[in-house]
Amino acid sequence: MKIAMWSGPRNLSTAMMYSFGARNDFAIWDEPFYAPYLAATGLDHPMRDQIVAAHEVDPAKVAARCAGPVPDGKKHWYMKHMPLHMIDGFPLDWAADCVNVHLIRHPARVVASYAAKRENPTLDDIGYRQHLELFRRFPGPVIDSSDIRENPEEMLNKLCETIGLDWNPAALHWPAGGRAEDGIWASHWYGAIHKSTGFAGAEGPLPTLAGEAAHLAAEALPFYETLAVEKITL
């Protein structure tokens, strides 16, 4: 099975990749279209030059690998993808042969977390609009990061049941530190996950935002709410 897990940034996406990577039957791949996205758009992201230098920037070559065999002799493949990386002209036909799963998080939480790592984010930076468009093209199970953090075992078990994958409790824990599969950007973005050995506890109240941050969260909210209607529940 190939899983294409789609989410915006700061959506529990790295913890989910580590979770599936903790299973001995899964290979994992960390945001394979990030370098092509930066190379094509010229956007100024943290570590941009290092990312473009260290990773494949040809989207056709990345897509061909996505369509290819599962690596490392594993049975399954978990690919961490972001809809915002799939700009016009990037190949997407490979996703038709994947189990497409959609990971979402309330935009107030995403904006608060993202803005701490990169200044002045826009709606396109956090990916809600692109995610809804991609969901309509490649529908599949929707799972909310808050639900996972509240009850990791039951929610991940339910996701596995939904997509026809055997449950493996190894997915609940992983060793502290980074993984060889991390993108080079891990040093900027993955500090918290590298200190973790499992999913953090349930989230508290939504953060209080002001000014441009509050406006951005409000702008993203309708896209989130449209996807949330489809989410897996226990």
Q: What share of the chain is helix, strand, coil (3-state, %, to 5)?
A: 50, 10, 40
**Is this structure's pTM higher than 0.85?**
yes
pLDDT surpasses 80 at 118: no
- The confidence band for 234, taking pLDDT boundaries of 50, 70 and 90, is confident
> What are the DSSP calls for 54-92, one per residue?
HS---HHHHHHHHHSPPSTT-SEEEEEE-GGG--TTS--
Q: Is residue 174 part of a domain?
A: yes
Greater pLDDT, 84 or 10: 84
234, part of any domain? no
pLDDT at 105 over 80: yes
Has residue 142 been placed in a domain?
yes
Q: Is residue 37 part of a domain?
A: yes
pLDDT at 141 over 90: yes
How far apart, in Å, are the Cα atoms of 104 and each of 37, 155, 220?
21, 14, 12
Range of the domain at 176: 2-228
Give the pLDDT confidence of 155-176 residue by residue, as tens digits: 999 999 999 999 999 999 999 9
CATH number of residue 56's parent domain: 3.40.50.300
Residue 211 lies in a domain: yes
If one counts the domains in the chain, the total is 1
Angle of the 211-228 helix axis to the 107-115 helix axis, nearest 10: 140
Residue 233 within any structural domain of the chain? no
Do 79 and 66 touch, CB atoms closer than 8 A? yes
In a domain, 168, yes or no: yes
Say how far apart CA 102 and CA 6 lie, in whole Å: 5
* 160: in domain: yes
Q: What is the pLDDT of residue 114?
A: 83
pLDDT of residue 156: 98
Range 140-143, long-range pairs (CB < 8 A, 24+ positions): 140/99, 140/100, 140/101, 140/102, 141/101, 141/102, 141/232, 142/101, 142/102, 142/103, 142/104, 142/227, 142/228, 142/230, 142/231, 142/232, 143/101, 143/102, 143/103, 143/104, 143/231, 143/232
Residue 115: its pLDDT value, please?
A: 75
**DSSP calls for 99-132:** EEEEEE--HHHHHHHHHTTSSS--HHHHTHHHHH
Give the neighbor-by-neighbor strand order of the sheet with 26-30.
Answer: 26-30, 76-81, 2-6, 99-104, 142-144
**Mean pLDDT, the chain, whole residue set:** 96
